[in-house]
């Protein structure tokens, strides 16, 4: 037993393909490649099919959805939930532009996307819900959003509702109160 060096031949990696592994075969260089069915220019210039709802009514595109006038919304809380505007803007007391877009109007709730435009390049997004009737989702969402379980109005600005919150000012509540809505309403 000495200090003799033993040379061992390196057999290389021990890799065995799985029976489920499919290795793509390279195309035969002698065969010409198939031409794409459409060029990029043809795809871009092809007519766009209009989007329709379940009743074949055309759904307006984002460019076709006009802003509702703020003066037609303010002071009309009942109209706001009975016939919610598709899109409108609100200037907050801090000078931040808020863009409100309708996402859903179902039998249980109305949901809006709230965009707070802090600058031309920075926006923060939230959701706002109006619960038309009590349901399991209402209770669960309100619990998740740190609100009273029977609240009719729910927003996801939860960072304002923690005990160690730095700021507690809610721009969504400001907008709702400017419309004339009681944000403490319960079902």
* pLDDT > 70 fraction of the chain, expressed in percent and rounded: 66
| Neighbour tally for 71: CB within 10 Å | 8
Residues 6+ apart with CB under 8 A from 116: 92, 96, 97, 98, 123, 124, 125, 126, 171
Q: Is the separation of the CB atoms in 56 and 49 below 8 Å? A: no
Model confidence pLDDT, tens digit, residues 78-90: 999 999 999 999 9
Show the tokens assigned to 154.
């729910």
pTM, full prediction: 0.64
- Tell me if residue 58 falls in helix, strand or coil: strand
* Gap between the Cα atoms of 126 and 141, Å rounded: 14
Model confidence pLDDT, tens digit, residues 26-76: 555 566 666 656 665 665 555 555 666 677 776 665 555 567 888 889 999
Residues 6+ apart with CB under 8 A from 38: 46
Give, in degrees to the nearest 5, the angle at Cα 111 between 109 and 115.
165
Higher pLDDT, 40 or 186: 186
């Amino acid at each position: 037993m000495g200090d003799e060096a033993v040379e061992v031949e390196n057999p290389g990696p021990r890799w065995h393909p799985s029976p489920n592994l499919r290795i793509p075969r390279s195309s035969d260089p002698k065969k010409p490649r198939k031409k794409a069915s459409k060029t990029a220019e043809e795809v871009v210039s092809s007519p766009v099919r209009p989007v329709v709802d379940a009743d074949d009514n055309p759904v307006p595109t984002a460019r076709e959805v006009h802003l509702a006038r703020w003066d037609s919304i303010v002071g009309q809380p009942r109209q706001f939930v009975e016939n919610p505007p598709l899109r409108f803007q609100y200037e907050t007391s801090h000078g931040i532009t808020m863009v409100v877009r309708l996402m859903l109007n179902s039998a249980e709730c109305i949901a809006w996307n709230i965009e707070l435009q802090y600058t031309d390049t920075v926006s923060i997004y939230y959701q706002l819900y109006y619960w038309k009737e009590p349901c399991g989702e209402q209770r669960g969402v309100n619990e998740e959003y740190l609100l009273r379980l029977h609240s009719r109005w729910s927003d996801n600005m939860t960072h304002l509702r923690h005990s160690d919150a730095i700021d507690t000012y809610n721009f969504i509540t400001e907008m709702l109160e400017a419309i004339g809505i009681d944000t403490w309403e319960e079902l």
